[in-house]
């Protein structure tokens, strides 16, 4: 499995059987919208234009825009609605190749109870927003990492060149996590590589 990052809460997850793209962002963000072919397109907030610029996504993709459980081309996706002030934003549990990814998209409040977090089961990779303002702050995100206890953490939705949305730089989250990180263009991972050794922070270079 490979995971790549476009920016904001948009990622590309490539498995042996399918390509998944999440939350392609609009040009109003200041960034060039994601482009590419997908088998599965996941939108956490279908009515928000900023996170649903789908015109650049090609292919005969299956669209997941509502909570529920879906099985598509060897990928199981479970949408979990999370109440956010005056609306719901969907988080997604993505499972393929025996790897379990929890993508918290662009939420501000992680309001699952302790037993609900336990019901999610073991999470191999946690993808979560860390930029503050409209999404989780660095300190809140770090607390969520401690709650979920993933093996790998991929931060998202932070300040980067060109982005005109008001979010904090990544440094704040890295500091909250103790300062250690690994930077790479893409994360290539197999189940056997995932070990219980604390949460490793992986910074993905945005695709351009």
Look up the CATH number of the domain holding residue 25: 3.60.15.10
The confidence score (pLDDT) of residue 128 equals 98
Helix and strand numbers, DSSP H then E, in the chain:
3, 16
Residue 163, token pair as written in the block: 């982005």
The confidence score (pLDDT) of residue 142 equals 97
Domain range for 28 is: 2-204
Euclidean distance between CA atoms 59 and 80, whole angstroms: 26
- DSSP conformation letters of 40-96: EEE-S-TT-GGG--GGGEESSPEEE-SSEEEEETTEEEEEEEEEETTEEEEEEEEEE
Is the Cβ–Cβ distance between 104 and 150 less than 8 Å?
Answer: no
The confidence score (pLDDT) of residue 88 equals 86
Give alpha helix (H) positions in 149-195.
171-176
Residue with tokens 């302790």, as numbered in its chain: 114
End-to-end CA separation in angstroms for the chain: 20
Euclidean distance between CA atoms 108 and 140, whole angstroms: 9
The confidence score (pLDDT) of residue 208 equals 75
Total domains present in the chain? 1
Q: What average pLDDT does the structure give for the chain?
A: 95
Euclidean distance between CA atoms 14 and 84, whole angstroms: 29
Mapped onto helix, strand or coil, the DSSP state of residue 102 is strand
Kindly give the parts of the chain with pLDDT less than 70: none
Q: What pTM was computed for the model?
A: 0.96
The confidence score (pLDDT) of residue 66 equals 93
């Amino acid at each position: 499995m490979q995971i790549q990052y476009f920016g904001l809460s948009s990622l590309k997850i490539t498995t042996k059987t399918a390509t998944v793209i999440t939350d392609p962002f609009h040009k109003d963000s200041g960034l060039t919208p994601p482009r590419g072919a997908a088998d599965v397109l996941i939108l956490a907030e279908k009515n928000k234009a900023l996170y649903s610029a789908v015109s650049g996504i090609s292919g005969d993709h299956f669209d997941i825009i509502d909570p529920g459980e879906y099985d598509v081309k060897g990928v199981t996706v479970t949408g979990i609605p999370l109440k956010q002030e005056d609306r719901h934003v969907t988080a997604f549990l993505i499972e393929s190749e025996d790897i379990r990814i929890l993508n918290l998209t662009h939420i501000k409040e992680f309001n699952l109870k302790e037993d609900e977090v336990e019901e999610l089961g073991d999470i191999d990779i946690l993808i979560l927003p860390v930029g503050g303002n409209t999404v989780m702050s660095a300190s809140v995100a770090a607390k969520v990492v401690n709650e979920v206890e993933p093996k790998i953490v991929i931060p998202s939705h932070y300040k980067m060149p060109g982005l005109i949305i008001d979010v904090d730089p990544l440094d704040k989250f890295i500091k909250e996590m103790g300062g250690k990180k690994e930077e790479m263009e893409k994360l290539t991972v197999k189940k056997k590589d995932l070990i219980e050794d604390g949460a490793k922070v992986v910074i993905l270079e945005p695709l351009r």
